[in-house]
Amino acid sequence: MSMNQNKHNIVKYLPTSDIESTWEMCVSGIGFQSIEYQDPYPIKGHPIGYTFNPERGRIIDEYAIVYITKGEGSFSSVTCNKQKITKGDLFFLQPGQWHSYHPSTETGWDEYYVNFHGNYFEKLMPHIIHPSYPIFHIGVNEQIVKHFAEMLDCAIAQRAGFQAVLTGILMHIIGIVYSINKNQDYGTASMQKIQEACILMRENIYDKFTPEDIAQSINMSYSNFRKSFKQYTGIAPHQYLLQLKLSKIKDLLSNTDMSIQEIAMKLNFESADYFSYFFRSKTGINPLSYRKEIERQRDKAKRTHFKTNKS
């Protein structure tokens, strides 16, 4: 069974209100684009000022990070000659500098990106980026993809204080990238394959596939894959998948109004009853009780906040 080729593209641009004056940093856009063979690029949905013709390039007035987890393409800027970009490369865009980038029409690519600005970044980023070569060869890194996924969920929900959460996660990503680049430590070829497998599991969590499918997708025998996976993560691939599902269930129960039946179907459980059994066996509480407890805690926090402000 092959991995899902129709991944959900997400393009999200955000209100910043007065967050920048308080935190001196904010995130203005976040997204994921899966570009297949000969697909147009960039995809539709970007506002004026962000969309561009790769042949002409563009200039933006903020920083951005673009991380490629599949495929290849090219990048160039006013300070950096045209460079080939491959899976595991991350590059920074700098405010006021012409740049252009695009996937190869032969391979396409999977791209995570985030746009950000603020006085804090104006001071920090010159110490992170070398103007003539803003490309970091960090390899495929499941932790970075996880953080991008957290940012996407946060940007979609846009709960109170979401900008503070987004900038905190962004700083963690920048820290990981900086550390990997300084140490030139992105793992062996085998470790890179396991990282790729973890990303495939995370990105295809709503699809029906098995650890055997994952092994086939990264060109490893299942026995070698299972052994290597357990060596690097400490658990078997099947258990890792279940952990991802449990985390996603908690997110959907906490941040959506989806019914138990809808969540069970979305995550491919054979029935709502089995879904409830699975959740209770892992958490000690049934899904509805978990949702009610989350709502109770939120209501309590809101009442406390209201009383504090009133006094």
Q: Kindly report, residue by residue over 171-205, the tens digit of the pLDDT.
A: 999 999 998 888 776 667 788 888 889 888 888 88
Query: What integer is the mean pLDDT of 268-275?
Result: 91
Confidence of residue 306 (pLDDT cuts 50, 70, 90): low
Residue 4 has pLDDT above 60, yes or no: no
Task: Supply the pTM of this predicted model.
Answer: 0.76
Return the pLDDT at 3: 43
Q: Which residue is associated with the tokens 């029409």? A: 105
Residue 5 has pLDDT above 70, yes or no: no
Return the pLDDT at 150: 93
The answer to whether 66 touches 93, Cβ cutoff 8 Å, is: yes
Integer Cα distance of 280 and 287 in angstroms: 7
Q: Kindly report, residue by residue over 10-33, the tens digit of the pLDDT.
A: 888 887 766 666 778 999 999 999
Which domains does the chain possess? 10-183 (2.60.120.280), 190-295 (1.10.10.60)
Residue 154 has pLDDT above 60, yes or no: yes
Q: Kindly report, residue by residue over 120-138, the tens digit of the pLDDT.
A: 999 999 999 988 899 999 9
Residue-wise DSSP of the chain: -PPPSS---EEEE---TTHHHHHS-EEEEEEEEEE-TT--SSPTTPPTTT---TTT-B--SSEEEEEEEEEEEEEEETTEEEEEEETTEEEEE-TT--EEEEE-TTT-EEEEEEEEE-HHHHHHGGGT--TT--EEE----HHHHHHHHHHHHHHHH--TTHHHHHHHHHHHHHHHHHHHHHHT----HHHHHHHHHHHHHHHTTTS---HHHHHHHTT--HHHHHHHHHHHHSS-HHHHHHHHHHHHHHHHHHH----HHHHHHHTT-S-HHHHHHHHHHHHSS-HHHHHHHHHHHHHHHHHHHHHHHH-
The C-alpha angle 24, 157, 208, rounded to 5 degrees, equals: 125
Return the pLDDT at 309: 54
